[in-house]
Structure 1
Amino acid sequence: MQARPTEGTGGVIDDIERIGIATVLGLMTLVTFANVVARYVFNSNILWALETTVFLFAWLILLGASHGVKISAHIGVDVILNLLPPGLRRAMVLLSVGLCLVFSGLLLVGAWQYWWPFATTRAWFEVNDIPMVFFPDLMAELFNEGEEYEKMPRFIPYAALPIGLLLLTLRFLQAGWQIATGRRDMLIASHDSESEEMMAEMSREADAGTLDQALHPSRRDGER
């Protein structure tokens, strides 16, 4: 059983993840394509392209990890779980959710402790190559005692850590609640459900072929 469509807070998280993933993928594609054109057509180079794609890839991984929990895309093994009775299976799945929450919670605390100094006492730290183009005067006034940034401050790309891990933790909480209330069976996609979907698809294709032969018997005669 897959998770049902969510509303409210879950819907907001859905929007953040989907828009974020689409935006990051689009920017990565655009920057990489522009750099390839600059290198092979104009014999030049976009200095900040590599660093930009590295940071964007980090955002993509962390947002994707969160969204993967929602759509049951993470890899897992359910051989033993499928042998258990429903009640014990749910208990084991909830135990795994609890362990995932502990893991993501520890990562979230560590990510916050790592990121927060870059937004406060070390806000003057800049990245290596990416120029500061987003509200430079305002950012300098708020975070750098009025001194203008030449490059993007590190706390902006590094924010992927606390934001991504916060979303991941919220997704595990959401999944745990759905499993506890019977709206979801597993954290991962069940292999049995995948097999059933595959068999159903094959059955539909076979039925479509039979119907086509019934409607167009001349095709079958011609093939003979």
Structure 2
Amino acid sequence: MKALLNVYSKIMDVIDKILRVIVGIAMVVMVIVIFYQVILRYVFNASNIWSEELARYLMCYSVLLGAAIAVRKYSHLQVDFVINMLPARGRCIAVSLCTLVGIGFLGFFCQYGITLCATTGHSISAGTGLPMSVAYACLPIGSVLMILMSVEVILRELVKFQELGHKKKGVQA
């Protein structure tokens, strides 16, 4: 199990690095576009139709891709009062079960996102001229990435559960 976790974690490390670069670039572009829009509007008393829309789409992608990074690092806001009261092996089980419930939700979220992309593929965004399916693609992309990261969380918890069991028996893992 630990060997599987190590291989999977290395794959997730690569995906994590790529996501961090994409989110970083998206945030920089978003700030530049918003700054451009503010200067255009308040200094030159003019505006354009694409900047606000592009910034909104970049924000959506940043949030959902960033959420995948946060899943991997246990960085989401959570109420862990009850989980912290459990013994160590019980915490592993509770975290794994909660993560499985999250994967179930993300499955529905992904399905909804795919349906939304399919039904809006013919619609074109007024400002950017992109198909609306590009804007909505952040939903299935983000949910699939969160599912992949959640699988790593579960694998980590199972390895921890196994190691705690070996320590309890006095066996070195």
Question: Which TM-score band applies after superposition, normalised by the shorter structure?
Answer: 0.7 to 0.9
Instruction: Determine which of 139, 151, 155 is the counterpart of 1:161.
Output: 139
Taking the TM superposition and a 5 Å limit, the aligned residue runs for 1:134-173 are 151-173=129-151
Which residue of structure 2 lines up, in the alignment, with residue 102 of structure 1? 104
Count of aligned positions: 155
Paired residue secondary structure (1:8): helix
Which residue of structure 1 lines up, in the alignment, with residue 123 of structure 2? 125
Which residue of structure 2 lines up, in the alignment, with residue 91 of structure 1? 93
Q: Which has the larger radius of gyration?
A: 1
**Deviation digits for residues 175-208 of structure 1 (CA, Å, limit 9, x no counterpart):** 111111119xxxxxxxxxxxxxxxxxxxxxxxxx
Distance in 2 (CA, whole Å) between partners of 1:124 and 1:87 is 51
Distance in 1 (CA, whole Å) between partners of 2:40 and 2:136 is 28
Taking the TM superposition and a 5 Å limit, the aligned residue runs for 1:69-88 are 69-88=71-90
Paired residue secondary structure (2:130): strand
4+ long deviations beyond 2 Å:
none
So what's the TM-score if we normalise by structure 2?
0.82
Residue pair 2:96, 2:153 contacting (<8 A) in 1 also: no
Deviation at 1:17, TM superposition (A): 1.5
2:54 paired with 1:52: yes
Which residue of structure 2 lines up, in the alignment, with residue 32 of structure 1? 34
Residue pair 2:61, 2:138 contacting (<8 A) in 1 also: yes
- The Cα RMSD (Å) is 1.9
Distance in 1 (CA, whole Å) between partners of 2:152 and 2:95 is 13
Distance in 2 (CA, whole Å) between partners of 1:109 and 1:10 is 23
**Structure with the larger strand share:** 1
Deviation at 1:117, TM superposition (A): 4.0
Paired residue secondary structure (2:148): helix
Deviation at 1:15, TM superposition (A): 2.2
Change (3 A) 1:10 1:21: same
Amino acid at match of 1:93: V
**Deviation digits for residues 86-136 of structure 1 (CA, Å, limit 9, x no counterpart):** 222221111111111111111112211221344xxxx43200111xxxxxx
Residue identity (%): 27
Amino acid at match of 2:43: V
Paired residue secondary structure (2:98): helix
Structure 1 stretches of 5 or more lacking a match? 131-150, 184-224
Structure 2 stretches of 5 or more lacking a match? 1-5, 162-173
So what's the TM-score if we normalise by structure 1?
0.64
